């Protein structure tokens, strides 16, 4: 039986097998083989049509790139500027810390001559007093013109003046301080080395020239008086000066005029004026300037109308409209005028009270 590729009659006799016929067309004769030339391509020719497998690196340039040159130039400029500022700027030296002095304070009560005048019209009360031209509130504590000193810059001098002003405003104009128990607004402005003295003054008030609350701030006895008008009148001066290479001093001299009436009284009740003159000396080192703090080293206070018999160590107890002092003091003193004041007790000069 024949295979699948055999014809039905079988393979013809003498013919080659069916499998060999498939390769008959590719059989080369001897003359063809001898005439064939064999040529092998070189390696260069074999890769001529192909991209190289490894990218060739560009030749290394000598010298620095443009970015590196710019960076070096910037560093050189910054270094030169820092060196120049260090030589030229006299304000950036090591901070010298001096010993903080305790506050020395004097509070002088001023007794009225006769009866304290009063009226229910507060504006009229101010208009007929020496405080008629005073400014209201913090506007009465303007910053003076200032300039740098030998060892302190303009900004440092202004910082000292601003801190002194803040102290005056908080300790003389804040209603919560004047007729309440608030002390923190004032305390946070003090140098940390004075806080023990400040706290002791309020915990254990003493008339020793060191521990009287009335030396630190103005506050009234709320059981006796209240503010008839929160528009407190103010006038005064402020100046800064350098005392040494590490210390600035600011001196302030301001007169504060308050309209008061009896605690719990009707708004139509008679009001009277109460005057407080405060001469304060502040001291600042560079740490104080940086921290917005001050050393209060001297406080000289005159206040009236008060009775010389009253204790002015803790809270002030003003004489109100229609009241008189229990005992008179020595020769009259005008809190609106500059100059010296009595040491223990004085009396209000003629014209220091409103003409009502």
Cis peptide before 305 (omega within 30 of 0): yes
- pLDDT at 341 (0 to 100): 46
Backbone φ and ψ of 245, nearest 5°: -65, -15
Query: Rounded to an integer, what distance in angstroms lies between the CA atom of residue 289 and that of residue 338?
Result: 29
Listed in sequence order, the residues at least 6 apart from 242 whose beta carbon sits closer than 8 Å to its beta carbon are 149, 150, 151, 152, 248, 249
Task: Name the DSSP letter for residue 272.
Answer: E
Provide the percentage of residues in the chain whose pLDDT is more than 70.
72
| pLDDT tens profile 119-146 | 999 999 999 999 999 999 999 999 999 8
pLDDT above 90 covers a percentage of the chain that reads 58
Q: How far apart are CA 71 and CA 313, in angstroms?
A: 67
User: Is-contact 274 305, C-beta < 8 A?
Assistant: yes
Q: Is the pLDDT of residue 253 over 60?
A: yes
The whole-angstrom separation of Cα 40 and Cα 60 is 39
Would you state the pLDDT for residue 81? 78
């Amino acid at each position: 039986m024949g295979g699948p590729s055999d014809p039905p009659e079988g393979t013809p006799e003498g013919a080659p097998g069916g499998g060999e016929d498939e390769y008959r067309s590719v059989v080369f004769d001897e003359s063809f083989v001898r005439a064939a030339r064999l040529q092998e391509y070189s390696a260069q020719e074999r890769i001529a049509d192909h991209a190289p497998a490894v990218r060739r690196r560009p030749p290394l340039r000598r010298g620095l790139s443009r970015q590196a040159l710019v960076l070096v130039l910037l560093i050189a400029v910054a270094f030169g500027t820092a060196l120049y500022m260090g030589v030229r700027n006299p304000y950036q030296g090591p901070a010298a810390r001096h010993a903080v002095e305790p506050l020395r304070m004097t509070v002088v009560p001023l007794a009225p001559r006769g009866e304290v005048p009063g009226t229910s019209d507060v504006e009229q009360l101010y208009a007929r007093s020496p405080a008629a031209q005073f400014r209201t509130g913090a506007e009465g504590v303007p910053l003076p013109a200032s300039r740098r000193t030998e060892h302190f810059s303009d900004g440092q001098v202004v910082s000292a003046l601003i801190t002194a002003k803040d102290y005056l405003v908080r300790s003389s104009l804040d209603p919560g301080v004047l007729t309440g128990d608030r002390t923190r607004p004032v305390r946070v402005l003090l140098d940390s080395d004075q806080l023990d003295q400040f706290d002791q003054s309020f915990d254990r008030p003493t008339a020793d020239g060191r521990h009287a609350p009335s030396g630190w701030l103005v506050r009234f006895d709320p059981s006796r008086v209240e503010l008839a008008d929160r528009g407190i009148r103010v006038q005064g001066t402020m100046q800064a000066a350098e005392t040494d290479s590490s210390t600035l001093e600011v001196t302030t001299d301001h007169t504060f005029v308050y309209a008061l009436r009896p605690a719990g009284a009707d708004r139509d009740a008679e009001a009277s004026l109460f005057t407080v003159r405060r001469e304060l000396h502040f001291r600042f080192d560079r740490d104080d300037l940086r921290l917005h703090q001050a050393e209060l080293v001297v406080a000289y206070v005159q206040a009236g109308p008060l009775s010389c018999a009253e204790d002015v160590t803790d809270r002030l107890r003003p004489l109100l409209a229609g009241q008189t002092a229990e005992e008179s003091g020595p020769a009259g003193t005008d809190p609106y005028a500059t100059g010296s004041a009595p040491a223990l007790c004085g009396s209000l000069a003629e014209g220091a009270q409103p003409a009502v």
